[in-house]
Amino acid sequence: MTTILVTGGAGFIGSCFIRHELKKHPDYKIINLDALTYCGNIENLKDVEHNKNYTFIHGNICDKNLVRDLIKESDYIINFAAESHVDNSIKNPEIFIETNVKGTLNLLQASKELGIERFLQISTDEVYGTLGENGYFYETTPLAPNSPYSASKASADMLVRAYRETYGLPTLNTRCSNNYGPYQYPEKLIPFFISKILKGEKVPVYGDGLNVRDWLYVYDHCEAIDVVLHQGKIGEVYNIGGHNEKTNIEITRIILDAMGKDENSIEYVKDRLGHDKRYAISNDKITKELDWKPSITFEKGIKITIDWYLNNQNWIKSIENKKSGVKI
């Protein structure tokens, strides 16, 4: 039986990936190793918690003995575990080095010592830095991270490369654009703004709101990860994007419109330090070599997403109560 060790599987993308994988490969065993940091939420996988092929392990990717024990049981590792919020990395970079760099190193080292069939590192388009008005990030674009978050992810990518080149570890690396969909922690733009409006508050838009991001529906991303895991060429990097470039203010207006609000609900706030202007990612390689492309239009994906948050307000409330220490 094939066993996948998924790290960070209680977070946004990891939990969607586990759900996707249990459905797509009912004969696979999935072990979810997650430290349940502030953004990890075991409730994200309530619907599969009794699946006999799913096991949750509460632990840290920096824990050498635990990681070794789990790798012994696994055929593949997919490393989603990370500190992932840029604003937090600007305020407190150390934990980003601890988890994103040292944690990845720990997984690589144990994989090298014990052997693994495939090691897939989940990274971000932010490692490429920022773009002007034109052009795309390709896998060959030089890394030029601008925030402590993206620098930590770029460092991890370089370690993955080094373990491939030096020790021959069978690694794969994906770099994706901004994901959107259900179960995203409400600190990130879409669920954050929805939760603000639900509370009757204004939504804080950074700067002029004209920063551009390329939006990828989370379950399209999960399918791309599955394709890279099974068909990707060892040692390669694959970009994964949605080809949906939108400014932050466009996304804001879509959310406001869907929730019956107007421009009066917007509050422009001081821009984020070092705020990258534009990300846009080319899917050419994964489309040509592995025959993957996004399956859902942005219009459909954003509707499903907004409806999900509106229909799952208790999910948002339970997180907010956890943050404020209220027992529920």
Ligand X SMILES: NC(=O)c1ccc[n+]([C@@H]2O[C@H](COP(=O)([O-])OP(=O)(O)OC[C@H]3O[C@@H](n4cnc5c(N)ncnc54)[C@H](O)[C@@H]3O)[C@@H](O)[C@H]2O)c1
Active site residues: 125-126, 149
Site residues (CB under 6 A) for ligand X, limited to 130-189 = 153, 176, 178-179, 185
Q: Report the residue from 36, 57, 290, 310 that binds ligand X according to the rule CB under 6 A.
A: 36
- Quick one: which segment of 11-19, 157-165, 230-238, 253-261 binds ligand X (CB under 6 A)? 11-19
Binding to ligand X (CB under 6 A): which residues in 200-239? none
H helix runs in 168-297, sequence order: 189-198, 218-231, 248-258, 284-290
Smaller CB separation from ligand X, 215 or 265: 215
227 or 261, CB closer to ligand X?
227
Match 């050419």 to its residue by tokens: 284
Of 124 and 252, the one with the shorter C-beta distance to ligand X is 124
Contacting range for ligand X; rule: CB under 6 A; set: 55-63, 70-78, 160-168, 272-280: 55-63
Residue nearest to ligand X (CB): 11
- Residue 34 binds ligand X, judged by CB under 6 A: yes
Instruction: Decide: helix, strand or coil at residue 171.
Output: strand
Q: How many residues belong to the site for ligand X (CB under 6 A)?
A: 30
- Residue 99, interface with ligand X (CB under 6 A)? yes
DSSP string covering 216-247, please? EEHHHHHHHHHHHHHHPPTT-EEEE--S-EEE
Three-state SS for 73?
A: coil
7 touches ligand X by CB under 6 A: yes
The continuous run of DSSP H or E covering 56 comes out as: strand 54-58
Considering only 6, 71, 77, 82, the residue that binds ligand X (CB under 6 A) is 82
Q: Does 195 bind ligand X (CB under 6 A)?
A: no
Q: Beta-carbon neighbour count of residue 135 at 10 Å?
A: 11
Residue the block writes with tokens 């509106």: 310
Phi then psi dihedrals of residue 228, to 5 deg:
-65, -40
Per CB under 6 A, the segment of 60-68, 193-201, 302-310, 314-322 that binds ligand X is 60-68
- Cβ density class 44-65: b for 16+ within 10 Å, e for less: bbeebeebebbebeebbbbeee
Q: Residue 126 in contact with residue 150, Cβ under 8 Å?
A: yes
User: Which among 54-62, 160-168, 203-211, 298-306 is the span making contact with ligand X, rule CB under 6 A?
Assistant: 54-62
Minimal distance, residue 221 CB to ligand X, in Å: 8
Q: Select from 105, 115, 8, 16 the least CA-distant residue to 64.
A: 105
Selected from 11, 129, 148, 294, the binder of ligand X by CB under 6 A is 11
With CB under 6 A as the contact rule, the residue among 5, 6, 13, 203 that binds ligand X is 13
Q: Cβ closer to ligand X: 111 or 265?
A: 111
Cβ atoms within 10 Å of 140's Cβ, excluding its own? 8
Residue 93 beta carbon to ligand X: minimum distance, rounded to whole angstroms: 14
Q: What are φ and ψ of residue 124, in 5° steps?
A: -135, 155
CA dihedral 189, 194, 199, 201 (to 10 degrees): 50
Nearer to ligand X (CB atom), residue 7 or residue 265? 7
* Interacting residues toward ligand X by CB under 6 A: 7-8, 10-14, 33-37, 39-40, 60-62, 80-82, 84, 99, 103, 122, 124, 153, 176, 178-179, 185
